[in-house]
Structure formats: structure tokens, C-alpha cells
Amino acid sequence: MGKDLNGRELGPGFGQRKNGQYYARFENRFGTRKTLYSMDLQELRDKYNTAVYENRKKMNIVDDGTTLDDFFDIWINEYKYKIIRENTKQGYKMVYRKHISPTLGKRKLLDITALMVRALINSLDRQGFGYETKNRVRIMLLDIFDKALMDSYVNRNPVKGIRLLRDEKKEIRVLTKEEQVEFFECAAGTFYFNLFVVAVETGLRPGELYALTPKDIDLKKREISVNKTLVYQQFEGDSGKTYHSGPPKTKASNRKVPITARCQTALEKQMKQRKVILGRHNAAPIKGFEDLLFLSTLGTPLNATTYGDAIARIVETINSMKDPLEQMEKFSGHCFRHTFATRCFEAGISPKTVQAYMGHATLQMTMNLYTHVTEEFKQSEIEKLESQENKVRYTENLYAM
């Protein structure tokens, strides 16, 4: 039993130092002996009771002096050990050192707030960094604090709840070649696989895909006639949402789109799948829309929700086998259209031809949408010129200075 300076019993773990300061000791759940101090005995008892309660309820932390820099080393070397590739690991280190550590690295984990994280992301935005960089910072911090919370270095995650919206006017979502391979390998054999293939191989708008009928497909000429679109909306006079078929978005949207070999295979399989769906006893096609090529499992027309959910299921399956930091970002059906256009530019197809494929009213619209791709295309084209110039050899070095 502990005593004060006058010999009065204070209780187990309590005592008083010669300078009059009271102290209380206990061993926490981490096996660490903790000592609390106060010049006021009642204040010390309150602090002690709170600390013991938090320890029993597992609300306390293992080390209140750990900084973000300290824990990042633990996170990258221990939590990510053999989880991520070495080049990925180096990429995380670079992002952390460049964008996170200078602002938050020296701060204690316990002191970092949601406002600080938001301020960091806003600062990156003001510096002109795009969505990908800002979101990488966000998901890294989210995972770091998740691991810190799991092992009791903090008692809350200040990044949880912080969301970023992609500025669609500035940045469009395009699947990288790696993401495209990953998505279609995972989607193979699923109900909407043919739809996904036709979408990414033609660049059709979602509504144009929903409206396709077998009559729009000419496998001999290897082309698709785009002449209508299908929407699921409530128009004036409707009692609720319903399907409406109408002309495409613009005059230029009426077009012929070539069929690639992959697209042809998918279309042929879809025509067979359509017959199977409509032959089921539970098929419930909607009157006026029985001729559609792409249908739901019940034979009804498709809409944005059905399409989006189908894509989301594939992405969720992919991400269920990935480390949080390497997960694929969710995307909408329109992403396939942007991916198609990007692959066209990468293949060296002229912008005017891409405009025709996409059904854009003007070439300027195509160029504005895919500036990031066309800039890369310009660079690759000038490299072709340089390659040709190297074959033109002069007898003297005319360019020597």
C-alpha cells in the first residue's frame, strides 16, 4: 500500500514524492508500466480511474509519442512486407517523402486531425496536382492510419470519411492497358462480358449500346449502325421512370462503327445468349423492346444502374484480392468509351477518324476531350520523324556547331 508524506495510506500503486507531488502506477495491456502525476490527490485519482478504464476497454494507445514518419517506416517495412512489389514500394516512398512527410511527418499520430489531412490535399490541389496524386496521398494515409488503429497506435482514423471527387471536366477516367487486361480477364465468362467487350471495342455511348438490335449489326461488312439511343427516365407525362428509345445525341452520332475481330466474336456470342435469355420460362421482355441485343437476365432492357452494378461487381472481385493501395478505382460504363478513344490514338489512328468513330459533332470536341492523349501522340510522332531523319545521312555534319 502506498503512503503520503504523513504516513497515510493512499491505496495500491499510489504514493507521494518528497516535493509533495502525488503519483500512481499501473501496468497497461501492452505490458508497459505507466506512471501518472499530480499535485492534487483527487485529480490524480480521477486521472488514474480514467486511464485504468481506457486500458480495460482497450481505448488507450501503445505509444503516444509516435510520429507519422516513425510509423510510416513501420508501415512500409512491416505491414507491406511481401505484400507489394518492390517498384510499387519505392513509388509509395517517393509519394510519401515528396507530398506527405514535409507537412505531417514530424507530427505525432495522435495530433493529426481530419482538417490537417484535408488541408494537405487542398494544398496539393492549389499546386496544380491532379486527382491521381491527391487520391494516392489520401489512400496511403487512410491505410497507414487503419494499420495504426489496428495495433493501437491511435484510437481513431482522421482520414476516414474524406472523399475526393474527380473533376470530370478536367480529367476523364481511362483504363490503363494493365487495368483493361485485368478487368477483362476477371470478367470472362460473366453474364455481361460480351457487353463490356463491345463497349470497349467500339466506343459506343451506354445508351447507344442499350438500343442496339441484331438488325444494326452487319457481320459481313463488319460494321455497326448507330441510329438510336435508349434511356430510362421519367419524361413529362410519365407516371414514373420508363424506357424511351430515340435518336442519338447529335446528327453526327448517326454513324457506322467498324467491328474488330474481338468485337465480332462478342457480338456472335451475344446473339446466341439473347436467344437463350428470351427462351427462358421466366423471361419478361417489355413490349416494344423485345428486339434489343443486350438484355438483363430477365430479358428486360438495360439501364445505367444495371450496367454500373455489373461493372462494380467485377471491380470488387478484382479488389478483393488486392492490397488496399493497389486497388482498381471504380468507374462507369462511359469509361469504356474513353478507353476506346485512347487506344485509337495510341494506335496512331488520325484524330479525324477517331471523331467519326466517337460520333462527335466537331473535331475540336474530340481534341479537347483527349488532350492528354494527343499530346503524347504528338511526341511519339516527332520521334518517328527523328527516326527517319537518322536514315538520311549527309557527307558532312551540317548541324555541328
**Torsion angle defined by CA atoms of residues 236, 237, 239 and 244, in that order, rounded to the nearest 10 degrees:** -70
Longest Cα–Cα distance of the chain, Å, equals: 106
Mean pLDDT of 331-353: 92
pLDDT recorded at residue 270: 97
Sign of CA dihedral 383, 386, 390, 392: positive
Q: If you search the block for the grid coordinates 494506335, which residue do you land on? A: 347
pLDDT tens digits, one per residue of 67-119: 999 999 989 988 888 777 776 788 888 899 999 999 999 999 989 999 999 99
Q: If you search the block for the grid coordinates 483493361, which residue do you land on? A: 180
Query: 131-150 and 86-95 are packed helices; what angle lies between their axes, rounded to 10 degrees?
Result: 100
pLDDT grade for 384, boundaries at 50, 70 and 90? low
Contacts of 250 (CB under 8 A, 6+ apart): 359, 361
Mean pLDDT of 192-215: 96
Q: What percent of the chain has pLDDT over 90?
A: 50
pLDDT of residue 376 exceeding 80: no
Q: Which residues pair with 232 in a beta bridge?
A: 243
Mean pLDDT of 178-199: 96
Provide DSSP, 328-364. PPP--THHHHHHHHHHHHHTT--HHHHHHHHT-S-HH
Mean pLDDT of 181-205: 96
